[in-house]
Amino acid sequence: MSGATGSPTGATTLLATLTGADRPGLTAAVFTALAGRGVEVLDVAQLVVRGHVTLALLTTAGDDEAGASAALHAAAAELGLELDLSPAPDPDGARPALGSRVHVTLLGSPLRPEAVAAVAGAVAGSGANIDRIRRLAPRPVTAVELDVSGADPEGLRRVLVSVSAEHGVDVAVSPAGLARHGRRLVVLDVDSTLIQDEVIELLAAHAGREREVAAVTERAMRGELDFTESLHERVAALAGLDAAVLDDVRAAVRLTPGAQTLCDVLHRLGFTLALVSGGFTEVVQPLADSLGIAHVRANGLEVVDGRLTGRVSGPVVDRPAKARALREFAAAEGLPMSRTVAVGDGANDLDMLAAAGLGIAFNAKPVVREQAQTSLTSPYLDSVLYLLGISREEVEEAGAGADAPR
């Protein structure tokens, strides 16, 4: 093994890569073969895919380099593994600068090799390196996470936006390190995000004005109409409606697939959830209560003598108000903005998405996808978990995931 390079302590370093069929006790057998030879373990990684194992270990050569090499070859032969043993570079020589590590999460349904190749090429083209890849979720939405070193996060994010659009996959860039751990505040929009419906359209259906109201809603969501003006116009169409229909609307609301799973998992992690909605407290608050969500900010509907007046009660929760609510909830929880996550789909959510540490456009309109930090086109809201580094296996081990399609 002449030509092996020096470790920080002056000893030669060896990289052993073993591949083959996995079996219990394999890892123990490999390290047992090196025991008592004065070897120092510098790095180790193991991956099993469909019963096929790859085990890589970086060590010093120890007191007897030839003996260590022979022991590894003997262990590999006994285990039926292929062994590649070669000199290795200084394990600290190519260490990236602090602050240059990111996670790149790739989601596809299906996930095609062309998309993976394009993302990997973009990472390499930016001067960064992929150090590790792991699967976060299998089909129907396949999610993989790339640990990337030496990256400029904003520059890489801009490059990957075009890759995402070209290949029809979702690609997110998020910081690595301590920023990903610990408690967070997750703020969700409600209509067409937490739930599949637009509540005002459900109300309008009871008034026979649904087509008229839906047209105004669509223009507002695309950013073509001032939200406050559009809200007043739509609520005016509800004038005279019996307030009892609110009970019917609450019963008709449908959670987005994966919404229950998302809330359950985040609660188990000790995260705080909040709902910030341009919809109505009369529907949003009971929904929050049923999901154990701590904070709510939404509009109120004025009711007189048991009927809707067609007016909004109190200040309108518009685009700036959503961002203010995010900041107020974060302050109330004692969390910095870097530890906040916001999820929404409309132009009314843009300020909130921009203010959050991680802003996620969920099945959003084009104007929102173009401006948000990260965009998800998956129909399952629990895909948000993958952007936080939480795998499907971890979700299922926690006993969650009952409402998420397999």
What digits encode the pLDDT tens for the residues 202-220? 999 998 998 888 888 788 7
Predicted confidence at residue 95, as pLDDT, reads 52
Confidence grade of residue 99 (pLDDT, cut at 50, 70, 90): very low
- Pair type for strands 170-175 and 102-108: antiparallel
For residue 247, list its beta bridge partners.
none
Residue 135 CA, distance from chain mean position:
13
Which of 141-150, 153-162, 269-278 has the least mean pLDDT?
153-162
What pLDDT, on the 0 to 100 scale, is given for residue 94?
52
Residue 226 has pLDDT above 60, yes or no: yes
Query: What is the enclosing helix (H) or strand (E) of 284?
Result: helix 281-291
What pLDDT is recorded for position 339?
93
- Asked if residue 81 has pLDDT above 90, the reply is yes
Q: What is the pLDDT of residue 366?
A: 84
Among the listed residues 63, 64, 170, 191, the single catalytic one is: 191
Mean pLDDT of 178-199: 91
Q: Do the domains 13-87 and 102-180 sit in the same CATH topology, yes or no? A: yes
Q: Tens digits of per-residue pLDDT, 357-403?
A: 999 999 998 888 888 888 999 899 999 999 999 999 989 887 765 66
Rounded Cα–Cα distance for residues 369 and 371 (Å): 6
Share of the chain above pLDDT 70, in %: 92
Assess whether 63 carries a catalytic annotation. Answer: no
> Which pLDDT score, from 0 to 100, does residue 404 have?
54
CATH of 102-180 given 3.30.70.260, 3.90.1580.10, 3.40.50.720, 3.30.380.10: 3.30.70.260
Output the pLDDT for position 292.
96
In this model, does residue 4 exceed pLDDT 50?
no
Superfamily, domain 186-397 = HAD superfamily/HAD-like (3.40.50.1000)
Domain ranges of the chain: 13-87, 102-180, 186-397
Mean pLDDT taken over the chain = 89
Q: Which residue has the higher pLDDT, 187 or 96?
A: 187
Burial of 18 (0-12, 13-18, 19+ CB in 10 A): buried
Convert the pLDDT of each residue in 9-68 to its tens digit: 445 788 999 999 999 999 999 999 999 888 889 989 998 888 999 999 999 877 788 888
pLDDT at 182 > cutoff 70: yes
Q: Is 191 a catalytic residue?
A: yes
What CA–CA distance (Å, rounded) separates 382 from 188? 12
Asked whether residue 286 carries a pLDDT value surpassing 50, the answer given is yes
Reported confidence tier of residue 83, pLDDT bands at 50, 70, 90: very high
Q: Whats the size of the chain, residue-wise?
A: 406
List of residues 6+ apart from 348 with CB closer than 8 A: 189, 220, 221, 227, 278, 318, 319, 322
Preceding peptide of 24 cis, ω within 30°: no
Confidence tier at 6 by pLDDT (50, 70, 90): very low
Q: What is the pLDDT of residue 7?
A: 41
- Least confident range of 95-104, 217-226, 345-354: 95-104
User: Spelled out in words, what is the top-level CATH class assigned to the domain 13-87?
Assistant: alpha beta
Determine the straight-line distance between the first and last CA of the chain, rounded to whole angstroms.
49
What band does 5 get if pLDDT is binned at 50, 70 and 90? Answer: very low
- C-alpha 326/C-alpha 355 separation (Å) is 8
From the list 189, 197, 349, 382, the catalytic residue is 189
Token pair recorded at residue 102:
């990111």
Cα→Cα distances 290→255, 264, 293, 294, 383, Å: 11, 12, 8, 11, 21
